[in-house]
Structure 1
Amino acid sequence: MHNRTASRRKVELVDSCLEDRKQEKDKEKKKFERRLVKYDDLPEYLRDNEFILDYYRCEWPLKDVFLSVFSWHNETLNIWTHLVGFLIFVGLMVMSSMGEQLGGLITNVSRARVSGQLMTPMIKDFNGSDHDIFPDSQLRHISHQSDFQVQEVNGYEVIPKWPWFVFLSGAMGCLVCSSLSHLLACHSKRFNLFFWRLDYAGISLMIVCSFFAPIYYTFYCNPYSRLFYLTFITVVGILAIITLLAPALSSPRFRSFRATLFLTMGFSGVVPAAHAVVLHWGHPHVFISLSYELVMGFLYAAGAAFYTSRIPERWKPGTFDIVGHSHQIFHVFVVLAAIVHSVATLIIMDFRQGSPTCV
């Protein structure tokens, strides 16, 4: 009887030791899985920028990857720069849906940045009378119109807002896809391939959606031109998305190709912009809106230049691992460009709202 009791205690003691050892190994494994690693310790599929030397998350558990949005690593600002941009466009969507006034932004920015430099504060309207460049009365109509139906008020068409919502939706989709990609791509090779392709598709989506509102409102009374330009950019965008979904093109060596493709899509708007200037020659709204679009193009090009050159981390590897590397700068330029495009679009909406009904 005594021997049985002793044997049982011995077995229990061994089991207890094994359990303690297992728990210690699990703790060590978890600690290892959550630690930040150096570039040289990464698997090949996670090696994208050899000038960022440290603070990488590598194959963390999914729960820890999600929680890492609130911790510091070399992707933290990549996540939050576009997440903040996403929230900005969510706010614009909510304001537009609820009929809030966006006219004040256009009036203040346009007068301060453009009208004071390019023209006098007063201009002639189509009937020859004086009025402000961006009259609030017209801007208010934009917020209280039907989203899809064309109405007529005092001889002026109350324009639909759905192209504006297309742009906002595309911007939100791009920014949230980017944030998710930078957050989750470190989890596994499968996640890495999927989310980076999703990121590139999101960029293409935003570029296509950005064209809809300006082209729709600029060529509102020219349906054939409007249909041609919108069809062209949609087809180019679909082809770009299909191309970028190819796994081979997700590799770092195609970085310049991807940037060139996005810039080509963006600058395909040069032809409709030139057409718009000829069609509406002398109208200040069109010129002011176009000036903002040029600023937008500069911002996108500058962001792409940082993205492809890997400056400044190329100059001093390891210094900009957490804050200040090229991808973060690229993200900031993208958000700024999207905001500038929003202002340009609202100015064109004001122009169309204040124009006589199409004959």
Structure 2
Amino acid sequence: MGFAEEKGSNVLFAKTSCFGEEHGSRQALLPKEGKEGSLENARKLELVDYDSLPKYLKHNEFILRYYRCEWPLKDAILSIFSIHNETVNVWTHLIGFFLFLSLTLYAAMMIPTVANSLYAQQPHSGVESPFSSLSNTSGFGSIFKEINTSSSQTSMPHPQFHDYFGKIFAARNGDESAAAPSGQAISRWPFFAFLCGAMFCLLTSSACHLLSCHSEHTSYVMLRLDYAGISALIVTSIFPQVYYTFACEPFYQTVYTAGITTLGVLTVLVSLIPFFETPEFRIVRSLVFVCMALSGWGPIVHKLMLFGNRPEALLTTLYEFLMNSCYGIGVVIYATRVPERWSPGKFDLIGHSHQLFHVLVIAGAYIQYLAMLVYLQWRDAEGC
């Protein structure tokens, strides 16, 4: 087997196969004794080029080098601390997982699950609307100004979120003077279901990128978990918008929730088909998840038909548009494999399409989290 040293780097990559000319044979996988065994083990931990990979690891021909190929499980796990072409993929979603874990713990402590104070009956003087503050930090100033004007016309108080959480703490400490007009906080399970769905998606994605290099069986299992995680994120992203939008319409709640759940289960079942993961079906995979995500626009349009004059409906719709834009752009980048398609080998370690896709997924999920806060604020204030 011949090896070449990458210019400007101390990383070696193989030019033939994972285990030399006998790649794929059981003999090549057997442990060796003595000096020969040490050389064989060292060879297994080298980074190889695309042409050296077995078929099940060939997903993107525009990423040319720095692949891990059939590493022992322990070494695959420890490779989280080394440099290869999956390092950024692993860490982007692992960091995203800890971000949403922090948001979940924060929400669990800050947002009560029983009726507590969220608003006084009348707006507080001097309390700035969140729409006003948003208008100062975004390019949607005129939109938020219109929303804020609509809010004042309907006499609907909209304190900032820090004021919202501050009132919650006051209530938990025994101050009942600012009870919510509805008298009871809306159920939190859709909100936390979304957070759990996001964490599951991010964690399974990170694990998939870290461990799939171990073996063909491991790759098969991890990819299915990855697809299940994507489905979970999409489904649980739609749960809250349906539940809180149609809080007073249980029929629509049931129809939309059952519909998106069914689509999610069907998507997971389709992903079990072996050819679903092949490079030839990259576009098909993308379309399957896009179609499932687009189903969420049904309840959004319905929401605008019912509450189109409400600032909460407009703001949450704006968030949902931004969320879907992030996901949509990410899917296009994933399916077209840009920018590495334009310059193969240049983006092997950083900047390739899947890494950009990961960042956009985290951004979209966080935007949806902001929308959830608006939904909670809305329904806790008014109830049903």
Answering whether residue 70 of structure 2 is matched by residue 59 of structure 1, we say yes
Answering whether residue 39 of structure 2 is matched by residue 28 of structure 1, we say yes
1:136-173 per-position Cα deviation (integer Å, ceiling 9, x unaligned): 55455678999xxxxx8444431121111100000000
Q: Tell me the equivalent position of 2:138.
A: 113
Q: Tell me the equivalent position of 2:84.
A: 73
How far off its partner does 1:194 sit?
1.1
The answer to whether the 8 A contact 1:141-1:353 is kept is no
Rounded to whole Å, the distance in 2 between the matches of 1:98 and 1:319 is: 45
How far off its partner does 1:338 sit?
0.5
Q: 1:311 aligns with which of 338, 343, 354?
A: 338
The answer to whether the 8 A contact 2:150-2:311 is kept is no
Answering whether residue 360 of structure 2 is matched by residue 333 of structure 1, we say yes
Q: Tell me the equivalent position of 1:190.
A: 217
Residue 342 of structure 1 aligns with an amino acid whose one-letter code is: Y
The alignment partner of 2:184 has SS state of strand
Rounded to whole Å, the distance in 2 between the matches of 1:143 and 1:200 is: 39
Question: Residues 1-359 of structure 1 correspond to what in structure 2 (within 5 A)?
Answer: 22-99=33-110, 108-109=133-134, 112-113=137-138, 116-120=141-145, 122-123=148-149, 128-129=154-155, 131-132=157-158, 134=160, 137-138=163-164, 140=166, 153-355=180-382, 357-358=383-384
How far off its partner does 1:230 sit?
0.4
1:61-83 per-position Cα deviation (integer Å, ceiling 9, x unaligned): 11110000000000000101111
Q: Which structure has greater helix proportion? A: 1
1:88-124 per-position Cα deviation (integer Å, ceiling 9, x unaligned): 10001110112279x99x7755763377331438546
The answer to whether the 8 A contact 2:80-2:90 is kept is yes
Residue 296 of structure 1 aligns with an amino acid whose one-letter code is: M
Rounded to whole Å, the distance in 1 between the matches of 2:110 and 2:164 is: 14
The answer to whether the 8 A contact 2:66-2:84 is kept is yes
The answer to whether the 8 A contact 2:238-2:296 is kept is yes
Task: Output the aligned Cα RMSD.
Answer: 2.7
Gaps of 5+ in 2: 1-31, 113-117, 119-127, 173-178
Rounded to whole Å, the distance in 2 between the matches of 1:32 and 1:144 is: 62
The answer to whether the 8 A contact 1:139-1:350 is kept is no
The answer to whether the 8 A contact 2:326-2:364 is kept is yes
Bigger-Rg structure (1/2): 1
The answer to whether the 8 A contact 1:110-1:288 is kept is no
Gaps of 5+ in 1: 1-20, 147-151
Rounded to whole Å, the distance in 1 between the matches of 2:90 and 2:34 is: 33
The alignment partner of 1:158 has SS state of coil
How far off its partner does 1:278 sit?
1.2
Residue 143 of structure 2 aligns with an amino acid whose one-letter code is: L
Q: TM-score of the superposition, structure 1-length normalised? A: 0.85
Rounded to whole Å, the distance in 1 between the matches of 2:161 and 2:109 is: 21
Query: Relative to 1, partners in 2 of residues 1:32 and 1:119: Cα closer, same or farther, differing over 3 Å?
Result: closer
Rounded to whole Å, the distance in 2 between the matches of 1:177 and 1:88 is: 15
Rounded to whole Å, the distance in 1 between the matches of 2:198 and 2:67 is: 28
Rounded to whole Å, the distance in 2 between the matches of 1:136 and 1:44 is: 53
The alignment partner of 2:33 has SS state of helix
Rounded to whole Å, the distance in 2 between the matches of 1:208 and 1:253 is: 26
The alignment partner of 2:39 has SS state of helix
Equivalent pairs: percent with the same residue?
39
The answer to whether the 8 A contact 1:114-1:288 is kept is no
Q: TM-score of the superposition, structure 2-length normalised? A: 0.80
1:267-297 per-position Cα deviation (integer Å, ceiling 9, x unaligned): 1111110110111121111101101110111
